Chains A and B, each alone.
Chain A
Amino acid sequence: MAEVTREAPAVLQRPADRRPRVSRAILDWAAVIPFFAYIGVFLLLPALWLIVGAFQTESGSLTLDNIRALFNDQYANAYLNSVEISLATALTGSVCGFFVAYAAVKEGAPGWIRSVLSTFSGVAANFAGIPLAFAFVATLGTTGVVTAFLNDHGINLYQNGFTLYSFAGLVLVYTYFQLPLMILVISPALDGLRREWHEAATNLGATSLEYWRWVGLPILWPSLLGSFVLLFGTAFAAYATATSLVGSQISLVPILIGRVTTGDFASNPQMANALSLGMILIISVAMVIYALLQRRSSRWLQ
């Protein structure tokens, strides 16, 4: 069938179309130049500038000072905090997200649950940023709706040491978009877990736990880990939510970058580049791990 289609144009080609093969190849590649040029100018070039800038002083000479400065307390702390919060929310998001997603695909789960969950996850995953922070403030802030409700019933959150504007609060808020992200990403993998495997295992005498231990988890772990890593990267790069919620109270890499850029934070402006370089490196490592795990999991989970 393919043969036939390839013959037809040749037979009916108009004289103007008969270009020599070499220039045709060139024209082919020419057609995608606009795209690559665009990416080059608005992504690659700036990224390169940033990376080089990390190794420059204000006057332009090359130096490693910026990089060395990253290990100073104020910057190192930011990295530690960012890594901490990324790990924490990746964990909460992936664990909870897994159980929720799995619950929705089991038999006995009402049919509508799957699509409702997927829709809600889509909305929640996109609701991140400023509005999300506001929503949580309106709910669990000092004068929030739930805070007031609990107060009326004798449970005084803020007097007992809870505050939304803290590390714990950030975890709570970040999880709001980590959880649905996990659900959206792990559901296809769960679909790939064929029911025949569970039934065969059961038929051969395995309990649910044994199934997971010897069949389910061994097959699923690349996807689980991959999703975890994806969540990690997402949390690390988050800016709007954190700024809105805790501002400069908690030192996080994206926030620090922002503050250096706007001049809020007294430092050599090249530090923004250095900080960004560090962030790019960390997220790149995460993405590479994610890509490798994706390839691994697709082997069994067509």
Chain B
Amino acid sequence: MPSTEIGLQKRRKSQGGHEFLEATLTMALFFGFMFLIIDISMAVFIKNALQTAVEEGVRTGITETLLTGTSYLTDSIAKSVVNNSKGYLSSNKPTCQVQVQYYDPDANPPGYVTTLASGHNTVLIVSVLDHIYHPMGPILQGWGYNGQRYTAPMPLKLGAIATGAMQPCSNGQCPAATNPAPPTCP
């Protein structure tokens, strides 16, 4: 056997397992990027879905629409947000997941109200806060720190907020805004 061939065989032997190592490293990088892209896309998609939902909620509120099964504007707005959230919000106790606030800019001083005042503008603020998304890849998961050590990965918290101006209502015609007996939230 020529000496060149023997040399090549030795080299091939010494390189045994390198391909496996390289493939492992490459795959780790590849999957890391793939999960990162999927997680970012999912987060953006869910945030957009929530944004659309709260905007629909504002629309329900400023048009003073009471959806079937609701008697108060807050409940109707929360239900509308859940209905338009593409399934990301649970239909169980909508007002526990959706925050509805009424702000009276014409009051002196301006502030949050629970009852709409006749002849006043009302700024409606609808928000979904801290919606949990569990990323697939470890890069976006992050790690919590409990003050002593790093703990299990934390989920991403997504939120959306929208505002709108309600027409001033006339005396006796203002819709019932806040439910005096809201459901107990967990």
Q: Do A and B come from one complex?
A: no
Residues of A at the B interface (CB closer than 8 Å) are none
Question: Which B residues have a C-beta under 8 Å from some C-beta of A?
Answer: none
